[in-house]
Amino acid sequence: MIGVLLKKQVAEVWRGYFYDAKENKARSRLSTAVRFLLFVLLMVVLIGGIFTALALFLCQPLTSVGMGWMYFVVMGMVAVLLGAFGSIFNGYAGLYLAKDNDLLLSMPVPPDAILVARLLNVYLLGLMYAGIVCAPALIVYWATVPCDASIVLAGLLWTFLVSALVLVLSCALGWVVARISLKLKDKGLVSAIAAVILLAAYWVFCSQIYAALSDLTANAAAYGAQMRESAAVLYCFGRAAEGDWPSLLAMAAVIGAAFAVVWVVLSRTFLHTVTATGAQGKATYREKAMRQKSPSRALLAKELQRLMSSANYMLNCSLGTVLLPLLGGLLLWKGGEYVELFDEVFAGAPGTASVLLCAAACMLAVMNDMVVPSVSLEGGNLWLARSLPVSTWRILQSKLRLQVALTAAPLLLCSLCMVFVLRASLAESLLLLLVPQLFVLLYAHLGLALGLLWPNLKWTDETAPVKQSMAVVLAMVAGWVCGLALVVVWLWQGWHVGAVPYLVVIAALAALACAGIRLWLRSSGCRRFEAL
């Protein structure tokens, strides 16, 4: 029974490689082979190559001073972090949010068998993520240090124990997420916030990792002595991979005990969690006056509600709302150093720092492209929007206003920080505030036009219009090309006229292009929307 269920789980994971849900047919052998080839290139060549380089960077310096155990502590912790990061949401979704929960529970299948099969699926995915780190670490170590069969066997068992630790963490964190989700109504917003926090943590980790590793290799002996005294568990963790069997057995006992606790908790709460309906608002009647909204406000509220209801939509199309204030904060923190560097490098072209920072803000605003898939996301419900007693142009305006509203304010904050750091003249400062706002208007109108020209209303997964549509790709490429052109033209000939006249020309061109696209939207664009 467990084998059949596990086979079903694995088939669902790899289903997208063999079956095209959009076309409702099996993929060709060539298409399947290409997809698997790309997957291997990504996981083995690219990601595996990165961790192989990390292993080569650490192994020789640490093993040469007898600190091979610290090498495995670092690589093992990286494997645990990557495995937990890669499978935490799979642990939550795979255990509790599977679409066939009701079907399986209605069959004569023991709930424990379902849980075991799903845990094995989570374990295999965690093993894949952890193995991407552990395999290069072991191979580099075996090639650097003389090893016998006992050390090789211990290293292989250490890899499986690391993946078991990933399973424990994934299940524990997935269980916590599941329990919290039962108390929440707006799961999409919470998922988006959690993903942004994880991305921020990952960025901070990546920005600090090189300095930390360099410091570790330079002071390995001092850190090793401190760790052996105050963190014996980590010392045991590293020694296990070197072939110290007592440490390996102790590690297996600790992880086994932790998994036993996780199993007891999951087996006792699994059935209740997967059958719970989550937080439900208690219906109570309260008499209150109805507030009438104008058609424009009602349509804007509808578009905002659609955005906030989908974590996928928010994360892929409104990340600029978060990143633009962060850029402003970075400018206040380190902007003075960047401005001085630009002034030194481009001493013969005054105003270059202003143009470069303005272009950077505009290119970051491209991360907000929620207007592009907004037409496609209507999908099968497009008739609802067309049946409303409002004009087609007003419907399209609401899509434009959502993007402008969520981009203009954070971009203005970023521009104010830019002006504060640059301390430019009044005319230049006003243009630095105006040009990015005109770029937002232009990009919003261009995105809506592309969304009308290449709509996708027959999607089965909203990932298709949000991430994989031609309109989204063209819009982002066009936005980045415009930002790069702003810099290239300035460095080529624009600096001869000065920053203020150059930005005036850019503002005029952006305003004219925006007006032209707006005229097309009000005529041909409305007709295309009505013909969908």
Do 187 and 271 fall within a single domain? yes
pTM: 0.64
Same domain, 201 and 348: no
CB-based contact 374:451 (threshold 8 Å):
yes
Number of folded domains in the chain? 2
Q: Is the same domain home to 142 and 212?
A: yes
Identify the helix (H) or strand (E) that includes residue 249: helix 245-275
Residue 446: pLDDT band (50, 70, 90) is very high
Give the per-residue pLDDT at 509: 94
| Whether residue 236 sits in one domain with residue 178 | yes
- Position 237, amino acid: F
Asked if residue 432 and residue 332 are part of one domain, the reply reads yes
Burial class (CB in 10 A: 0-12, 13-18, 19+), 77: middle
Two tokens, residue 205: 């980790």
What's the half-sphere exposure (Cβ side, CA atoms, 13 Å) at 60?
6
Q: Are 252 and 312 contained in the same domain?
A: no
**pLDDT bracket for residue 67 (50, 70, 90):** confident
- 99 lies in a domain? yes
Mean of pLDDT over the chain: 80
Residue 404, pLDDT above cutoff 70: yes
Residue 340 forms part of a structural domain: yes
Do 435 and 500 form a contact (C-beta atoms < 8 A)? no
Same domain as 319, residue 261 = no
Nearest Cα to Cα of residue 525 among 419, 344, 397: 397
**Domain end point (choices 275, 306, 331):** 275
Say whether both 319 and 235 belong to one domain.
no
What are the Cα distances from residue 84, in Å, to 81, 156, 281, 506? 5, 20, 33, 47
Which pLDDT score is estimated for 269? 76
Instruction: Please state, as a whole number, how many other Cβ atoms lie within 10 Å of the Cβ of residue 264.
Output: 10
Task: Look at residue 346 and tell me if it is in a domain.
Answer: yes
105 in a domain, yes or no?
Answer: yes
Would you say residue 286 lies in a domain?
A: no
Mean pLDDT of 111-138: 84
Amino acid occupying residue 378: E
With residues binned 3-state (H G I as helix, E B as strand, rest as coil), the percentages for the chain, rounded to 5, are 80, 0, 20
Residue range 168-192: mean pLDDT, rounded? 65
Contact 83, 126 (CB under 8 A): yes
Tell me, rounded to whole angstroms, the distance of Cα 311 from its chain centroid.
11
Return the structure tokens found at 23: 């076309």
Same domain membership, residue 237 and residue 332: no
* Residue 236: half-sphere exposure toward Cβ, Cα within 13 Å: 16
**DSSP string covering 109-175:** --HHHHHHHHHHHHHHHHHHHHHHHHHHHHHHHHHHS---HHHHHHHHHHHHHHHHHHHHHHHHHHH
Establish if 284 belongs to a structural domain.
Answer: no
Task: Identify the band that residue 460 occupies on the pLDDT scale cut at 50, 70 and 90.
Answer: low
Do 200 and 334 fall into the same domain? no
Residue ending a domain, choose from 275, 303, 338: 275
Q: Which domain holds residue 338?
A: 295-531
Whole-angstrom Cα Rg for the chain: 28
**Burial group, residue 225, by CB count within 10 angstroms (0-12, 13-18, 19+):** exposed
Name the percent of the chain lying above pLDDT 90: 18
Predicted confidence at residue 435, as pLDDT, reads 93
End residue of a domain, out of 244, 275, 306:
275
283 domain-assigned: no
Residues 241 and 299 in one domain: no
User: Domain check: are 178 and 327 in the same one?
Assistant: no
**pLDDT per residue as tens digits for the range 285-323:** 676 676 777 888 888 888 888 888 776 777 778 888 888
Domain-located, residue 499 = yes
DSSP state of 25: E
Q: Three-class SS string for 73-104?
A: HHHHHHHHHHHHHHHHHHHHHHHHCCCCHHHH
User: How many Cβ atoms sit within 10 Å of the Cβ of residue 309?
Assistant: 13
Cβ neighbours of residue 255 under 8 Å, at least 6 residues apart? 161, 164, 165, 168
* Per-residue model confidence as pLDDT tens digits over 314-360: 777 888 888 888 888 888 888 888 788 887 888 788 888 889 999 98
